[in-house]
Amino acid sequence: MQRRSNHLKKTRKLPYIILGAVAAVLVLIYAGGAIHYSTSNTFMPNTVIDGVNVAGKNVNQAQTLVNNHVKNQTFNLTEKNKVLKTAKYADAGLTSSDNKTIAKLLNKQNALMWPLQLVHAANADNTVNATSKAKLEEFAKKTAITLNKNRNTGSASAISATELASSSSKKDNKIISSTALAEEIKTSIAKGQKDIDLTKTYQSATVNSDDIQKQIKKYTAEKITYNINGTNVTIPSDTLKQWIVLTSKNDGTQTVSVDNAQVKAYLDDLNDKYSTYGASVTFNSTKRGSQTVKNEIFGWTIDTTTDAADIAQKIATGKDFTEKATISGSGQSLKKGELGSTYVEVDKTNQHMWYYKDGKLKISTDVVTGMPANNDDTPTGVFFVWNKKRNATLKGKNTDGSNYASPVSYWMPIDYTGVGLHDASWQPKFGGDWYKTHGSHGCVNTPPATMKTVYAEVALGTPVVVF
């Protein structure tokens, strides 16, 4: 009986032993986890930042994951539960914060509470903010213009120029304020909200003076012609309206002016369309038919900064006017895609140079261009004679690194890197395949007697097409 009693006692103690062992294991696991998360500098389970689970990641790893996620994120502009526009974070200058912010989030976590996050995610943190204020404001401005186009507003807007111009006339309606929109995007995204309520960006469109209204109508009714090298461009009325700025002062008074930045942006687009600098020209070469070559240093552009300020000032007069574009650069008489009838043609394939003046051939000669094997090939493009100099010494380095100094009688540079036309008394012959083994350092070597004529006949500013 005694043996049975002892056995029963041992049996009754077994569960407690097991429970104790389990508890000890759990304590060890808990302690190990706490030590790990307090020393490993990694995020605990189910930690979410900007919608990304960064569990087990260090600061740099978490930042990479967050950045890759955020750059592809979008937000919605909504009005009365209807999505009017969806945009990328990057379009509005919204990005995730830097490593310092991520590090702060890591330092905030309580390693002792790690088991709770196995079954319950940590509160999602949001690090996205407007890192580019200028980009956010520009996005809000353009968006407001677009969304306000079909809105009916009061007689005018005291918010901004373009918002005013985009609005028609009807009392007691609201338009979107670009300033309020930028602030609402910034605030909402910072809270982790991806739906931006446009009703919170409304601002009444009002004008407190009949004189202001008359002034606005006067400005927007002007006929403005912009003459670009003989081409007349009429500024559309809708474009002109977007340039008008209505500003409210602290005392409640309002003034009308012209937004120079918007005028310049418009002129920049015209410059891209009409200017010849960097554009390509197509011409009928002497031996190889039609050729298309890109303008390198040749061509002209519009001084849009100067013209924008001048146009803005003239609009304020309230009168129709024609503005002549301020042109700078070479070949100002030519339009886009044109080479003209006076030019120097250098054909590297045929190792020959021609000079045409008013469409008539004046000079024809074999030449030696740069040696391709030494990476000294004469550059291709449309250049121009920007200087002429007698008795110059051309200096540089040979392929082996040694210096050279070559005196020439006639020097006509055609680009800004040291390439030009010049006589080459050291060349025993010109043309053919001689350039392949005895080519220049990039210049167009010309027979001395012929180069004397070239120097005399070819004027400064003459385009030089090399192909």
Q: What is the chain's pLDDT, residue by residue, as a tens digit (467 residues)?
A: 455 555 555 555 566 566 655 555 455 555 544 555 555 677 767 777 767 777 777 877 877 777 777 777 899 999 988 999 999 888 888 777 665 667 776 666 765 555 655 444 445 456 666 567 888 888 988 888 888 776 644 333 334 444 544 444 333 346 787 888 999 998 888 888 899 999 888 865 455 556 777 888 888 889 999 999 999 999 998 899 888 877 654 334 467 888 898 999 999 999 999 999 999 999 999 999 999 999 999 999 999 999 999 999 999 888 999 999 999 999 999 999 999 999 999 999 999 999 999 999 999 999 999 999 888 999 999 999 999 999 999 998 887 788 999 999 999 999 999 999 999 999 999 999 999 999 999 999 999 999 999 999 999 999 999 99
Fill in the DSSP letter of residue 331: -
Hey, what CATH topology would domain 53-105+126-206 get? Answer: Ubiquitin-like (UB roll) (3.10.20)
Angle at the Cα of 183 (from 182 to 185), degrees rounded to 5? 65
Residue range 343-466, CATH number: 2.40.440.10
- The strand ranges marked E within 51-205 are 52-53, 74-79, 82-88, 94-95, 129-130, 152-153, 168-169, 174-176, 195-197, 202-204
Domain boundaries, the chain: 53-105+126-206, 210-329, 343-466
The reply to whether 210-329 shares the fold of 53-105+126-206 is: yes
| Residues annotated as catalytic (active site), given as ranges | 422, 443
Helix (H) or strand (E) holding 422, with range, is strand 420-423
Q: Domain 210-329: which CATH class? A: alpha beta
How many angstroms separate the CA atoms of 76 and 79, rounded? 10
Distance (Å) of CA 375 to CA 189, 219, 237, 428, 430: 54, 59, 54, 22, 20
How many angstroms separate the CA atoms of 45 and 121, rounded? 7
